[in-house]
Amino acid sequence: MKVIDHIKNAKSALFSIEILPPLKGKSIQSIFDGIDPLLEFNPSFIDVTYHREEYFYKKREGGFLEKVSIRKRPGTVGICAAIINKYKIDVVPHIICGGFTREETENALIDLHFLGIDNVLALRGDAIKSEGAFMPEPGGHHYAYDLVKQIVTMNKGHYLEEDLVDVAPTGFSIGVAGYPEKHFEAPNLTADLKNLKRKVDAGAEYIVTQMFFDNKKFIEFVNACREMDIHVPILPGLKILTTKKQSSILPKLFNIDIPQDFLEEIEKCQTDSEVREVGIEWCTRQSKELIKFGVPCLHFYTMGQSEAIRRVASKVF
């Protein structure tokens, strides 16, 4: 079932999760072990992230350097197929611009279509570490907006090879990312919202937000979207803070703020186990407030924290 249909048919807030593929060479059992404790809450869908290639330079004879591409977390499509086979739960693979040509994007979407997967989250993706700014693949998309347009075009039965006949249209429900505290590259929130509206006007059917810890900022973001004439469902992305180190790392990585009262509670903790309890309680309050506000779904970023999410969900759903 499409995500948008799950939302339309829901009588109360849905529960969904997002998982990371394991590192190359690791077993998929870690994925199953992360999902199993959360099955009692009937996740409507499971997002599977996609991680683009990274580069390193290998020294060759004569002092020459060879640029080598590696992908640390492969397997998004395979994991999606495995989840459907094992759990019969809908999946949402992430499709990114970075590292893909338009043709490679089309081929990936064809594979997903053949597997019966009818949901995708369209993202630009981050710059790789060896590059100071995002660089599209030659022949690839620079913006998520262009990626959305390509998916919509395939949904209409139009492929890159214009002379194809009797083509089968795809039927993807398209989600995109939103940033309550603005994308770090956007000059201001209004500019970021205009870009988001372009993606929605191009065919995106729902928005999943970056993680946040301040519900006020999420509510302000939703209201700003509505004023911008963006009326698709907006799903809040939630992360449970579990270590003191995360309180300094997450703001840098994701351009988010930690509310002062939350930070003060964290700083009182002597151990990470105490931080974990504070984080669970904070996320529980967040979740209850967001459901009261009327969100269609609570979307949890698992990041290996299934037990913490299980404890929050048991108090909320």
Catalytic residues: 18
HSE, CB side, 13 Å, CA atoms: give it for residue 74. Answer: 8
Q: How wide is the angle at C-alpha 254 spanned by C-alphas 250 and 255, nearest 5°?
A: 100
Q: What is the DSSP letter of 116?
A: T
Closest CA to 92 of 206, 210, 250: 206
Q: What are phi and psi of 59, to 5 degrees?
A: -80, 130
CA dist 82 → 7, 22, 79, 87 (Å): 24, 13, 5, 8
Closest CA to 112 of 152, 89, 80, 148: 80
Q: Output Rg (C-alpha) for the chain, integer angstroms.
A: 20
Which are the contacts of 315, defined by CB distance < 8 A and separation ≥ 6?
Answer: 284, 287, 288
Per the CB < 8 A criterion, the answer to whether 176 and 196 are in contact is yes
Residues pairing with 79 in the sheet: none
Specify which residues 119 forms β-bridges with. Answer: 173
Q: 198 with 232: CB under 8 angstroms?
A: no
Q: What is the dihedral of CA 288, 293, 295, 300, to 10 degrees?
A: -30
Q: Which two tokens stand for residue 130?
A: 């060896």
Query: How far apart are alpha carbons 290 and 236 in whole angstroms?
Result: 8
